[in-house]
Amino acid sequence: MDFPSPAPDVLARPWRTAAIVASGVAAVELLLLLGAGAILLGRSLEDRVAAAPKKKVKPAAAAAKPEIPKPKPLGKPRLPRGKTSILVLNGNGRTGAAGTQAQIVRARGYAVAGVGNAQRTDYTRTLVMFRPRFKAEGVRLARDLGVKIVTPLDGLKPQQLHGAHLVVVVGD
């Protein structure tokens, strides 16, 4: 006896229905988990907000003016120009740039401890670097040379300075 085979779309329908029901159940479970997570997280955030210190609200006029912190007084340089030693480094790669800058530094009354090449030759601007406790001397040297960038030692260790207090890196 031969039984008639059912149509292909009849066999596929129960699986489709089962997939749709399973997806619906998963969506409901996801919504329940998200709701429970929001409730638990909301309580935690609520506790943190309640425990946070309250900030004073400034009037609108005061809020419009930003408060600019006053710079700390730099103090006077401890060393006179003649006792401040400078290491001049060529940071632009042009032959003789450090030697020329060293002559200018000497003409301003500073002692030149040495002249050499910087580790890089791509400096676009001349800068003054200072050892710890010699920032005031670095600012004075930068002012004397017309240099706008003054920074602590960057990439150099005090041992590499040959006793110099400051470094001038010549840029373009």
Tens digits of residue pLDDT in 117-131: 999 999 999 999 999
Return the CATH class of domain 81-170: alpha beta
Stretch 9-33: mean pLDDT: 83
- What is the C-alpha separation between 149 and 151, in angstroms, rounded? 7
What residues does CATH 3.30.70.2390 cover in the chain?
A: 81-170
pLDDT value of residue 82: 95
Q: 6: pLDDT confidence band, cut at 50, 70 and 90?
A: low
Task: Taking residues 41-61, report their average pLDDT.
Answer: 66
Q: pTM of the entire structure?
A: 0.58
Which residues are within 8 A (CB) of 162 and not within 5 positions of it... i.e. 6 or more apart?
87, 113, 114
19, pLDDT greater than 90: no
Give the tokens for residue 76.
């006077």
Query: Alpha-carbon distance 167 to 157, whole Å?
Result: 11
